[in-house]
Chains A and B, each alone.
Chain A
Amino acid sequence: SLPEGVVDGIEVYSTKISCKVTSRFAHNVVTTRAVNRADTAKEVSFDVELPKTAFITNFTLTIDGVTYPGNVKEKEVAQKQYEKAVSQGKTAGLVKASGRKLEKFTVSVNVAAGSKVTFELTYEELLKRNKGKYEMYLKVQPKQLVRHFEIDAHIFEPQGISMLDAEASFITNDLLGSALTKSFSGKKGHVSFKPSLDQQRSCPTCTDSLLNGDFTIVYDVNRESPGNVQIVNGYFVHFFAPQGLPVVPKNIVFVIDVSGSMSGRKIQQTREALLKILDDVKEDDYLNFILFSTDVTTWKDHLVQATPANLKEAKTFVKNIHDQSMTNINDGLLKGIEMLNKAREDHTVPERSTSIIIMLTDGDANTGESRPEKIQENVRNAIGGKFPLYNLGFGNNLNYNFLETLALENHGLARRIYEDSDANLQLQGFYEEVANPLLTNVEVEYPENAILDLTRNSYPHFYDGSEIVVAGRLVDRNMDNFKADVKGHGALNDLTFTEEVDMEEMDAALKEQGYIFGDYIERLWAYLTIEQLLEKRKNAKGDEKENITAEALDLSLKYHFVTPLTSMVVTKPEDNEDQTSIADKPGEEAIAETTTMSFLTTQQSSQSPYYYVDGD
């Protein structure tokens, strides 16, 4: 008779997700302990889904008390080991894109009868503020009853925590109530989810687990002041999120793909989303719709103010959007850009307004100008850096890299809209993010010669509910005070926010930082720098690309981050030969290719086992 929670001879007796968040920087450790209660060797699997925005920083295997640590290596170095494994007929995919927000980390090892194994995966991410809150997303999927299952999150925010909540998608509030505790006071917050075996059962007599879904922790911090600067060990981070400013009016052009591939549910969902968006457009805003298929059609010849009468007319127009023929992205975009430029030149839109262009497409350009490089050049020249382009890629049948490059070149961003029942909500959600610009042309300035290695410090917009984060290194780590200016254009006037930091005062405020982890600002700076370098790399060419790649690689290796340039290798000596695991990070473009990554669980006993990944 095997104890409860034993499946196929393997008992996973403990799973703990330990999260420590300091100033939005999350350090998560997922530890699973299992024992092989069978009479023969068994394979034990460890699956973790982690956010796409996270970087794995460590993975260790402990078998019978012996720990095998992970080492971050340049991807090419790891690739050679991979090729060696392939030549021996064994591959294993460790990390692959999984759904909208997650990547899946998978590893298996053979465990001798009676032996114990501990898997420990560590990853870090900077929690980004969206719609007024930080969200930490944890996937819970233990697959069997676990005697000791626990999520333990400690949050430390020097500004003080203003709200904290946690919810699980897979369990009712009644059951959650006794297993979940959440509390916050001052700078500290704590969330604990510790369901007993009985609480994990899908029914009172069941032996399978109901823990399968999303566990989300959300919180926000106090904002007595619009900015907050923290300095530790010579590194600083500056958070900026002013409140109470009026919204800058928008001139917004929606460039919508109505080609044949949008037919059916996609066009219906687009119509629904646009109708909802029209409900939220403010009267100070100006707008227009450009539809492109083989040809380009427009709702109006020029941008019009969002008066009730115009919105009513716009809704009628949207209701009558129909799909037809091919995809002429180039002409659609150029028409929208021309309209925004003309409105500004003719002064038909408010002087203190900001222009935004949002394109939605579900496919690649296949008529008119269809060469991606030429479209990029045309769009870049037409926009001339004057306003951002946001690209929404609907579904998987498109060149997402092209859309992303196009958006990044024009100070915008790309977002994938997943083909699902809630696609209309995803579209609306994106609009809500950019609907309320409070500042435009935001520049964060620091004293000259006082800082080094600054992360991005200029942003075309600051949107309500978001946050600008800038990090860097101080030239003189013993300086007494530190001053930062944030300049931006508001709806009514130009604003300069000044943040002065008294080092003594700040030391007192951060004295509890040891409570979490001391070098968090340095790691946050490294994370942000790598993330921005990788983004910049997408648009770079030639020597510039090489330099950026080298810089990002150096930082990834130095700070032990698994990025698209590195892999983590875990080597376990076995039978005089190495058993190797590799963790990779796939890019967004890997979504459509996930099926090509395989994980072979069958191994030939005559050959040493290899665990491998095939990333992007």
Chain B
Amino acid sequence: PHFIIQIPGKNDSICFNIDEKPGTVLRLIQDPVTGITVTGQIIGDKRSNASSRTGKTYFGKLGITNAWMDFRVEVTTEKIILGTGAELSTFSWLDTITVTQTGLSVTINRKKNMVVSFGDGISFVIILHQVWKKHPVHQDFLGFYVVDSHRMSAQTHGLLGQFFQPFDFKVFGIRPGSDPTKPDATMVVKNHRLTVTRGSQKDYRKDASVGTKVICWFVHNNGEGLIDGVHTDYIVPSLF
């Protein structure tokens, strides 16, 4: 999975990948104040097996919970299960549906995306990426976007959540890299000095098939030095 962090006021972005074996569940957001947690499970491409680290990986399952509302959503590339405790509703990506209750709104847009909002100020979008069913390698996967986080607390953490609060970084010493089209540079962030590479990723919110190019500084080695701790600190045993 490719992580993209857009930095407000900087007009720049930082990106990194997390490479883990299929089945791994990563904590993306955790906010003890609002009670919201988001996790994502990695799946491999059609060639990979459970121990494979070499194939392509994607998010195949996402979990969103709100502990205070006793509410959870499980999203896979096939279906969406949401509800409270044992009272769960199951929907398909073929549905177009809006589910509302006090402080919550979930909208599924058939075969495209779904929007999960907790009141004003917290809103996530999940994109369904569908590939050709008979593709020899790739399979359907999910994208997760935080479109509004201003009601999330300062204590929010997780691979994405730790970046909701303003942070500073500096990039200097731009120099040719191993790929002439992608210069390297030095980034100072969170008291670390990192070698980063200019690259690009795609934002698929507007168009899930083509996407919009986002230029970013790529942090190598699973975001080491950018993220707090190491990426394995964010591995959790299960989606919920």
Contacts and interface: CB of A to CB of B under 8 A. Distances in A.
Interface string A423-436: 00000000000000
B97 A224 contact: no
A381 B237 CA distance: 58
A246 B88 contact: yes
Contact of A244 (B84, B90, B94, B96): B90
Interface in A541-589: none
B83 interface: yes
Contacts of A245: 89-90
Interface stretch (A107-115, A440-448, A487-495, A514-522): A487-495
B51 interface: no
B92 A224 contact: yes
Interface in A217-251: 224-226, 243-246
A485 to B, nearest CB: 9
Interface string A495-524: 111111000000000000000000000000
B97 A498 contact: yes
Nearest to B102: A493
Contact of A493 (B90, B94, B95, B101): B101
A492 B87 contact: yes
B104 interface: yes
Nearest to A486: B97
Contacts of A224: 92, 94
Nearest to B91: A244
Interface in B101-132: 101, 104, 110
Contacts of B88: 246
Interface residues of B, number: 18
A246 B83 CA distance: 9
B92 A492 contact: no
Nearest to A284: B87
A244 B101 CA distance: 18
B97 A244 contact: no
B99 interface: yes
Contact of A497 (B84, B97, B104): B97
Contacts, number: 50
A226 B90 contact: no
B98 interface: yes
Contacts of B99: 490, 493-496
Most buried by B among A494, A495, A496: A495
Nearest to A498: B96
A89 B57 CA distance: 88
Contacts of A493: 99-101, 104
Contacts of B110: 225, 500
A23 to B, nearest CB: 19
Nearest to B96: A498
**Main SS of chain A's interface residues?**
loop
B112 to A, nearest CB: 11
B98 A496 contact: yes
Contact of A226 (B83, B84, B97, B98): B97
**Main SS of chain B's interface residues?**
strand
Nearest to B80: A244
A498 B99 CA distance: 11
A226 B84 CA distance: 21
Contacts of B83: 246, 492
Nearest to B109: A498
Given A246-B83, A500-B110, A490 B89 contact: yes
A246 B101 contact: no
A527 to B, nearest CB: 29
B8 to A, nearest CB: 33
A224 B94 CA distance: 6
A498 B98 contact: yes
B70 to A, nearest CB: 10
B89 A244 contact: yes
Nearest to A496: B98
A497 B96 contact: yes
Contacts of B100: 493-496
Contact of A492 (B91, B94, B95, B101): B101
Most buried by A among B95, B101, B110: B95
B103 to A, nearest CB: 11
Contacts of B98: 495-496, 498
Contacts of A494: 99-101
Given A246-B83, A246-B87, A492-B87, A225 B92 contact: yes
A398 to B, nearest CB: 40
Contacts of B94: 224-225
Contacts of A496: 97-100
Contacts of B101: 492-494
Contacts of A490: 89, 99
Contacts of B97: 226, 495-498
A116 to B, nearest CB: 54
B88 to A, nearest CB: 6
A495 B90 CA distance: 12
A612 to B, nearest CB: 54
7 contacts: A246-B88, A490-B89, A493-B101, A495-B97, A496-B97, A496-B100, A500-B110
The 3 tightest CB contacts between A and B, nearest first, are A244-B90, A493-B101, A498-B96
Interface of A: 224-226, 243-246, 490-500
Given A490-B89, A492-B89, 16 more contacts: A226-B95, A243-B90, A244-B89, A244-B91, A246-B87, A246-B89, A490-B99, A492-B83, A492-B87, A494-B100, A494-B101, A496-B97, A496-B98, A496-B99, A497-B96, A498-B97
